[in-house]
Homo-oligomer: A and B are copies of this chain.
Amino acid sequence: MTMNNKGSLIVLSGFSGSGKGTIVKELMSRYSQYALSVSMTTRAPREGEKDGEAYFFVSKERFEEEISRGGLLEHARYVDNYYGTPRAYVEEKLGEGRDVILEIEVQGGLQIREKFEEAVLVFVTPPSAKELHRRLTGRGTEDASSVANRIRRAAEEAPFMRDYDYILINDDLDLCVEELHRIVGAEKQKSLRRASFIADIGRELADLSAEL
């Protein structure tokens, strides 16, 4: 993960209702440099969900096999289901120089942080708790107890925002997509990602200095 021509690994997490799904869709449609990782899950597909689109749907046995053979970059269990990120697809796309987006929960994001020093962790949030509540209520698809559950979960996730590199405040979708793209661009200039360039130019300068 230190070569300059490799893509960046970008973790995108955020409160339910933060709009992170829409941001990712819009980012993908605007720029071809990105690849979206597809998660693996043991939960049953919902109406209209096709295997390999939002998720790869697998059995519990198959998922546990993937865990034990190290085939997942991160995984977590919610309620009674597993969710995880297959390693092979991500590594293939990074190797091709694509910037790979993982839209995953905080628990998985923190696992990525531990394994990949250079991963870029971005947390998406509405500008305020009141606005989050307004958006969740405004959907019209959630009953009061479901909204309350989402708010409670957001309250539990909030302290982990500190462990993310960037906080993306989703006030305006269009601006937010550009800010995310700008973050990814800026990260490519990080000295951490330029280690081999730094070593090379240091050696060249020393050699040249000895010649002159």
* Most B-side CB within 10 Å, residue of A152, A167, A169: A167
Residue numbers in B under 8 Å from A201 (CB-CB)? 125, 128-129, 158, 161
CA distance A187 to B166 in the complex (A): 8
* Most B-side CB within 10 Å, residue of A169, A189, A212: A189
Residue of chain B at shortest CB distance from A125: B201
Query: B209 near A148 (CB under 8 angstroms)?
Result: yes
Residue of chain B at shortest CB distance from A121: B191
Which of A's residues lie within 8 Å of B, judged by CB? 123, 125, 128-130, 132-133, 144, 147-148, 151-152, 154-155, 158-159, 161-169, 179, 182-183, 185-187, 189-191, 194-195, 197-198, 201-202, 204-209, 212
